[in-house]
A and B are shown apart, each in its own frame.
Chain A
Amino acid sequence: MSGSSKIHLPGWAPLIVLLAIAGMVALVVLPLAMVFIQALGNGVDGFLEPFSEPDTWSAIKLTLIVAGISVPLNAVFGLAAAWAVTRFQFAGKSLLMALIDLPFSISPVISGLVWVLLFGAQGFFGPALDAMGVKIIFTVTGLVLATVLITLPFVARELIPLMQEQGADEEAAAMTLGAGGWTTFFRVTLPNVKWALLYGVLLCNARAMGEFGAVSVVSGHIRGLTNTLPLHVEILYNEYDFVGAFAVATLLAGLGLLTLLAKSFLEWRFAGEIAATRRH
């Protein structure tokens, strides 16, 4: 149906559509607006105040570092996992699929706690690591591990259905035409999934920067050292600095909106090409 054609909704349908819109406004738009309203409660100066503190900047920096490490790692892992799952038959394939989905189904707190149980001072490898002078929990390494685990499914989940649908024929054709493994990957496999990959990376990034639960467990909340943006928001809030908390929260909300905007833009700008990679 073309966008310009008018759709007549029969019977109760218009009311149901209105209800859905009202629900969306009440549950999504209002809370989101509250973030910005609260943040600007003391005017622009109040809004900017938390950004003059070094702790805020170190939280921003740390969030960027953690996402900057975990997102590329999961992009590579997602590609490799999707390729393995959709191109080969092997023992343990369904187990791998289930493992990829696991972070979706378990509580983020667990995803953080497992690292503490493994590498914490009282953890399984804790004493051994301690003896070698390696610290994982309450460091950036721990934050990255927790974030990688939490965001593990995003890229793979985007790619698997698409690569399954596309099949392996194009890669086989490239090989019979004389292309080697890497050539086939960079000239056939990757271009065919690039939009899904980009979309997966966007979602992965949004979650990596916004993750609270798992990161909270392994962070230790050391200000200026292991505090990411979401944790910083919590600290400010707990210190009754509501305006500061919401001001920092606008960064996270803005990130979410930006991700949504980027996704919509990509879908609009490359609609034809995205459709072509699915259809055949």
Chain B
Amino acid sequence: MKSSKVGPWLAIILGALYFIVPLIATFEFSLRMKRGQYSFEAYRIVLADPQFRATFLFSTIVALAAIVVGALLVVPTAYWVQLRLRRLRPLIEFITLLPLVIPAIVIVFGYIRMYNSSSILPLTSTAAGTNVLLTIGYVTLALPYMYRAVDTGLRAIDVRVLTEAAQSLGAGWGRILFRVIFPNVRVAVLSGAFLTFAIVIGEFTLASLLNRPAFGPYLQLMGANRAYEPSALAIIAFAVTWACMGLIQLVGRGARGATPVR
């Protein structure tokens, strides 16, 4: 190996060790529940726990709802910005970046203040209303990722020409959006969807402060009271996140090579 290549390789190895060693250590620890032997006992206990299944299901449903609401909010917005309001693009990008700058705890306190039981819209006074609030909160948290993914997808097609072609064939806005635009940014929406899912599935702050039975607070609860199960849960959460990333790659690769109409 040339001496000039030693430096970069050393940096890569150190970086990999920094990420991989704790992961391996956590995984190894999660297997040591039974004294003197490796086993998947901690995983068995976690997966058999009804609370695990209930919280994971709850988070999955909220994640799916956040994905649907996010896509319905972001795709038409990004489409309209691209088609008619290009001058507003910097402003919209700034707004969508705000959730990265404003901590989740600030957002949730704002929600609680705005939508408490004595407000005009008392969402927190019912479980269903709080679930709605939680979903909206997750849409907000995922906004930077969803918007960027969709915006990139829209830039790859000539939105204006496709819109005009559909209009000249008699199509109205609804048909243009759902038959022409959405299918052509399908991969981008799915990328945003998987990122949203990965964020929502382990999110703690919003779910905890809104007192919802989500997977994030369950993780925290287990971590505070058990020894081996939290490690198993961490590995499961990690696997779910990586599965989402893998799916993004898979969907992206499987997508047809649509000709960009420029």
A and B: bona fide binding partners: no
User: Contact residues of B with A, CB < 8 Å?
Assistant: none
